[in-house]
Amino acid sequence: MNLEEVEVLFDREQVMARVKELGQQITQDYQGKNLLVVGILKGAFIFMADLVREIDLPLEIDFMDVSSYGVSTVSSGEVRIIKDLDYSIREKDVLIIEDIVDTGLTLKYIKDILTKRHPRSIRICCLLDKPSRRKADIAPEYVGFVIPDKFIVGYGLDYAEQYRNYPAVCVLKPSVYEK
């Protein structure tokens, strides 16, 4: 990664410390429950992998892949399901893992679809929350960091499929995507 293209918002140590705290809180909140962790691909995969290792409970894992961005920096508002869940969520306590909650439109769409499948409960855990851009009435129960209205990459988040592997959460400089 070209470090001249990004500004570090949260370094690897800050991210890992917060992931550990979230894992401890989720462990406490889900004691004795039938936990199914649902990762939203592709952005949440790194966060989810680190988070589930910090949750000290039996759990199941599944994934959904949805898209509302394409190669843009702004959500199109149109949500497409690319990969649905492999298993039933009926009577399970579902924890949706998302990389970033921006407008909330995609996440509300996902939550509405999953609610119709009769889980015992649905909660949301996101690494990053950008409430200043919210258009849907949705609020994650677990939030890693609240961030300003900037375009974020790293730790699973991308711009045109680049930057996901960077271990920190970074602001992508506008000069990169305004070319």
pLDDT tens-digit readout, 69-127 = 555 555 556 788 999 999 999 999 999 999 999 999 999 999 999 999 999 999 999 99
The pairing of strands 35-41 and 93-101 is parallel
Could you tell me the residue range of the domain that residue 76 belongs to? 12-151
DSSP states of 88-120: --TT-EEEEEEEEESSSHHHHHHHHHHHTT--S
Residue with tokens 């949440």: 44
**173 belongs to a structural domain:** no
Which one from 50, 93, 99, 102 is the annotated catalytic residue?
Answer: 102
**111 belongs to a structural domain:** yes
Q: What is the pLDDT of residue 176?
A: 87
**177 belongs to a structural domain:** no
Counted domains in the chain: 1
Distance from C-alpha of 51 to C-alpha of 153, rounded to nearest angstrom: 18
Give residue-wise pLDDT tens across range 39-67. 999 999 999 999 999 999 999 999 999 87
Task: Answer whether 105's CB lies under 8 Å from 135's CB.
Answer: yes
Whether 102 is a known active-site residue: answer yes
**23 belongs to a structural domain:** yes
pTM over 0.85: yes
**145 belongs to a structural domain:** yes
**58 belongs to a structural domain:** yes
3-state secondary structure of 18: helix
pLDDT at 2 over 70: no
Distance from C-alpha of 61 to C-alpha of 87, rounded to nearest angstrom: 10
Q: What is the pLDDT of residue 175?
A: 86
131: CATH: 3.40.50.2020
**168 belongs to a structural domain:** no
**3 belongs to a structural domain:** no
